[in-house]
Amino acid sequence: MNMKPWPYPRIIAHRGGGTLAPENTLAGMRKAKELGFAAVEFDVMLAGDATAILMHDQRLERTTDGSGAIAETAYSDMLALDAGGWFSRDYAGERVPSFAHAGELCVELGLWADIEIKPVKGFEAETGRATALAARELWHGAAVPPLLCSFQPAALAAAKEAAPELPRGALIQSIPHDWEQWMQKLGCVSVHCDYRMLLPHQARAVRNAGYWLLCYTVNDPEIARVLFDWGADAVITDRLDLIAPDFA
């Protein structure tokens, strides 16, 4: 398998604006763009009414002023919540964005998207399917499609079935011995791993097998430099203040 060179930005802003803005918000994406970043990563989950939204946790408490389970809360109810005040007063009033609004903003700002399918437990296939179908529509006609990734094989399989033309990546903490079998089964083009669990020979193996390699969440410029020396194609970072868009 021969993989073409990585065609996307090599520095990806984690959850939108990293540590400089509330995570998984439109404000975070705007902050990344303002700082010159050309790529953002964010999480997509289904609300209780099956609306695709940007959210990492399965509950509301950490990143909003609301409470309760995401799977039991309709998106219409989330719109009344503050998703920015927990971060700073400057972002008070920021709302939980729908995936539709986030995708539209990415296209408008020219931001490439690394989209993590982050299903509530029990909704893996449903979330993978919904995210893929929405991404197909949101990026229809775009020159560069987003990359869909997930820790959940069932979500990736559903995304593959729903929109096989969209590229997919396998999110893993450490690279297992049978990683390539999973890549082939799910039709993935990239491996996304925890940089702390990566060894140099594994990085070489991924690249030699023709897959792209992304590392998360890299917040030290020196570590980023080492990973690129090992052959990593991109790093996802929270520290937009330390690792510049043109770092690589």
Annotated active-site positions, please? 14, 56
Question: Is residue 25 a contact partner of residue 54, using CB atoms and an 8 Å limit?
Answer: yes
Q: Where are the alpha helices (DSSP H) in the chain?
A: 26-34, 75-78, 99-109, 124-138, 153-162, 179-186, 200-208, 221-230
Instruction: Please identify which residue in the block is written with the tokens 């995304």.
Output: 159
Helices (runs of H) and strands (runs of E) counted in the chain: 8, 9
Longest CA–CA separation in the chain, Å: 50
**Residue 187 corresponds to which tokens in the numbers above?**
């039709």
CA dihedral 126, 164, 4, 17 (to 10 degrees): -30
CA angle 172, 176, 179 (to 5 degrees): 80
